[in-house]
Chains A and B, each alone.
Chain A
Amino acid sequence: EAGVVQSPRYKIIEKKQPVAFWCNPISGHNTLYWYLQNLGQGPELLIRYENEEAVDDSQLPKDRFSAERLKGVDSTLKIQPAELGDSAVYLCASSWREGAYNEQFFGPGTRLTVL
């Protein structure tokens, strides 16, 4: 079974540029999460999807961040424009259904560096 796939693995951009991250969850997983992980910190939830619906985006900075999950499968997280403080690892995770108890399967993350 293929795991959660993320691309790109690394991205270096200059501040004020746009950037997008892509995530393909495990087949059949309805719940998808995007996390931000700063160096030396634990993941912080940005947004959670149940199928194609964003059910929790309270921590997503909506002035510059946006996300979509068309058709309830793949998801894209975008930052426009990027700021120096956005340098971090962006993790995508999925679980097979809604429920706080369910195991989350994480992707390898995208490491973003903003210069």
Chain B
Amino acid sequence: AQTVTQSQPEMSVQEAETVTLSCTYDTSENNYYLFWYKQPPSRQMILVIRQEAYKQQNATENRFSVNFQKAAKSFSLKISDSQLGDTAMYFCAFASGTYKYIFGTGTRLKVLA
């Protein structure tokens, strides 16, 4: 069975600094997708970034980028130039070709002014 592990329950970062959130997963499948979702306080969960496992190039979306290490089954999220609006719960998620979605337990990120 697939699992997703986020080992950092809480993190904080100073505004304008860079922070990296960790995620590891376990699967025996070769075709899958990885996501980072953001859930701001009292607001809807939104997609931050996604990665296809067959692509070696790491995905980037403006200030957000990932470090995808397929052999190590690691999928970390780097947030550059952190902003106050980045304060949220961040969930790492895995989806297989059979559409089984597995979310991690989340990392609570607080950006400090």
Contact = CB atoms under 8 A, between A and B. Distances in A.
Interface residues on A, range: 20 to 34
Interface stretch (A43-51, A61-69, A70-78, A79-87): A43-51
Interface string B16-40: 0000000000000000110001000
A42 B105 contact: yes
3 pairs of A and B residues whose beta carbons are closest in the complex: A42-B103, A100-B95, A106-B45
B11 to A, nearest CB: 15
Interface residues of B, number: 24
B103 A106 contact: no
Interface of A: 3-4, 33, 40-45, 48, 55-56, 91, 93, 98-101, 103-109
A100 B50 CA distance: 11
B95 A43 contact: no
Nearest to A55: B99
A107 B44 contact: yes
Contacts of A41: 105-106
A10 to B, nearest CB: 12
Contacts of A104: 47, 101
B76 to A, nearest CB: 17
7 contacts: A40-B105, A40-B106, A42-B104, A42-B105, A45-B100, A56-B99, A106-B44
A35 to B, nearest CB: 8
Contacts of B103: 42-44
Nearest to A31: B99
B45 A100 contact: no
Contacts of B43: 108
Contacts of A107: 44
Contacts of A55: 99
A101 B47 contact: no
A33 B97 CA distance: 16
B32 A103 contact: no
Contact of A43 (B91, B96, B97, B98): B91
A100 B106 contact: no
B50 A101 contact: yes
